[in-house]
Structure 1
Amino acid sequence: MSQYHNLYATVLTYAAPSSNYRGESEENRTVLQKITRGGLQYTVISPESMRNALREILTAKGLPMNRRRLHDEDQLAVEFKDFPNAELYADDFLFGFLVADTKTMKKHKLPAKRDSVVRMNLAVALSPYRYDATFHQSPLNAGGSPWKNAGSSALLHREIAHTAYQYPLALCGTDCAGHEHGPTWTRSLLEAVGELSGVAGGHARSYFEMSPKSVVARLTPRLVAGFDTYGFVHRDDGSDDFPELDRVGPDDLPGDEMWIGGALARDMDPARKQALTEQGVHFYDSPQRMLADLSAGLVEARA
């Protein structure tokens, strides 16, 4: 009996100054979105903003996409070519859809909703928010300017954080392989994860990469990851670690199901790396190369 594997991965980005994923502005103050963890505040980036960036990347790669963002409207807006159709469009297949107008969908004998093949959760900062902020002067449009935003110049107060982010994602091999274009679209999706950028509210003016510095993944027939999917920690010496890897062994996390890529693989203590290698752990210096090989393992059935 053949069986497909499931993929669970935690991606760690590089650290950089960020004013991404901002909340509502109040009195010229731009507020970062945050959650509380262990009594401290950590900035977050929504999975919706990452999914939107993945759509844009997949569109640029030439995949057939149903939805596109309209940039000339006076509010956030998108346009669909057609009714949602997971057989024809990669975004409908990978990210799912929901149409509230169920009467129209029934009339055309089409499903009104579909679950997302890829599951993602909030990207959470590795370092707590330290109440850093910058101030900027917005000049007055004066002289012969044909338009004005305001009657005077303004001082802009922007919250900012210098941090890396980590986020989990999951893919079901049966879902990915059970479609004519599923394997190809899944490979393109994981390739896009490997070069993810243009995420969150400030991406039009700032440059913050969400591509992986390190990745820890498990390719398994199990229905859960079985490890802390927010397991990256930042050490006092400036290094990053994933303590859950200490659980790898015959009685806990199977080594041959674990994959480690990027800086965590390159910088790991040689003795620890050798011990994990002997347990069957897969190591990759390049997280992009690792994601490519994981996509192949995900959509190929095991006997």
Structure 2
Amino acid sequence: MNLFATVLTYTAPSANYRGESAENRAVIQKITKGNLEYAIISPEAIRNAIREHLRRLGLPCNRERLGDEDQLAVRFTDYPDQDRFADDFFMGWLVAAGGKDRAKIMTEIQEAGRDPQRFQFRRDSILRMNMAVALEPYRHDSVFTQSPAQVDSPWRNADKSQLLHRETAYTAYQYPFALNLEDCATRPEWTRLLLRAIGELNDVAGNHARSYFEMAPASIVVRLTEQLVAGFDTYGFENDKGAHRLPEIVDGILADDYPGNEFLLGGQVVKDLDTDTQRALAGKGVTLERSPQRLLMTVADRAGLSEPTE
């Protein structure tokens, strides 16, 4: 069985995911859709936050982000091991080695008591994701803040006061993810916690000292199906005067284009449905849940993902 989902975050000011700065101007990364630009957050940034949240939930993780280096930096506990580390299991890896380096690594693997036949230098990610795209186009908004001069201090970062210029967007973001649940069958308890982590996702894309933006779902749509593709617009959320809408999916279910019993809707998108539409969707077998977090646990139950054991 395959799980396809799209998350829509809450709407809030965001200055998180930045590209190269132009002098003192922090530039949000963007993508062009139609004739307009939309702010984006990369799947790599989302995956990094999921790794850290899995660690906070108590799962063993191989990669750790180091926050006090002079560049982006991580530390690995050991060579990749999908049997020991949840992040290796879900995210995959690439060990760029060849020739003598490969032989040396295989020797170290064997000396550590691991089965060399099970070691891979490359493994694809089980968790498939795409970038988060803003729901509203970028309006060329900027915010200016003043960094004060440091006087009679033991250290200082600049000789004088600085005017900081950062691009800002007021928007929600939507992003899809997918799992082949057969690939997760050996670790159902880890997969359940992965869904919980997505339901509570935060600390994506940095700049948290100045910009707090949650990536947890305000609304979510999930499809559990034997199909190998989602079969619906995975960027299908629309903002209708503040209401969350999924017109392509809702209309498709009501017109019998999609089997309703494969779909689960959660969060604000359910609250914004009128009573007649809720009844019609329920009559088609759609699961409706006002809480996105409860919906993800319902998905876990339906997929047979067991509770973690102590």
Pairwise TM-score range, normalised by the shorter structure: over 0.9
CA distance in 1, matches of 2:260, 2:94: 39
The alignment's TM-score, normalised by the length of structure 1, stands at 0.93
CA distance in 1, matches of 2:209, 2:274: 39
Structure 1 residue corresponding to 2:130, chosen from 108, 121, 132 = 121
CA distance in 2, matches of 1:164, 1:60: 25
| 2:301 paired residue number | 296
Structure 2 residue corresponding to 1:75, chosen from 51, 71, 74 = 71
Tell me the CA shift for residue 298 of structure 1: 2.7
How many residues matched? 291
CA distance in 1, matches of 2:303, 2:209: 34
State whether structure 2 residue 143 is matched by structure 1 residue 134.
yes
Once the two structures are superposed, what CA deviation does each residue of 1:168-214 show, in whole Å capped at 9, x if it has no partner? 0001010011x2xx100000000011110111121243211111111
| 2:113 paired residue number | none
- Verify the 8 A CA contact 2:254 2:280 in the aligned structure 1: no
Secondary structure at the residue paired with 1:248? helix
CA distance in 2, matches of 1:296, 1:204: 37
CA distance in 2, matches of 1:257, 1:271: 20
CA distance in 1, matches of 2:267, 2:282: 15
Identity percentage of aligned residues: 56
What are the within-5 Å matches in structure 2 for residues 226-265 of structure 1?
226-235=231-240, 237-244=241-248, 245-249=250-254, 251-265=256-270
CA distance in 2, matches of 1:204, 1:134: 15
The alignment's TM-score, normalised by the length of structure 2, stands at 0.91
Tell me the CA shift for residue 70 of structure 1: 1.6
Secondary structure at the residue paired with 2:23? coil
CA distance in 2, matches of 1:158, 1:83: 39
Return 5+ residue gaps in structure 1 as ranges: none
What are the within-5 Å matches in structure 2 for residues 28-47 of structure 1?
28-47=24-43
- Verify the 8 A CA contact 1:263 1:285 in the aligned structure 2: yes
- Verify the 8 A CA contact 1:173 1:299 in the aligned structure 2: no
Return 5+ residue gaps in structure 2 as ranges: 110-115, 306-310
State whether structure 2 residue 48 is matched by structure 1 residue 48.
no
Secondary structure at the residue paired with 1:135? strand
Tell me the CA shift for residue 277 of structure 1: 0.9
CA distance in 1, matches of 2:16, 2:150: 27
- Verify the 8 A CA contact 1:198 1:204 in the aligned structure 2: no
- Verify the 8 A CA contact 1:105 1:112 in the aligned structure 2: no
Tell me the CA shift for residue 72 of structure 1: 2.5
Once the two structures are superposed, what CA deviation does each residue of 1:92-117 show, in whole Å capped at 9, x if it has no partner? 00111111024144443321011111
Structure 1 residue corresponding to 2:206, chosen from 198, 201, 205 = 201
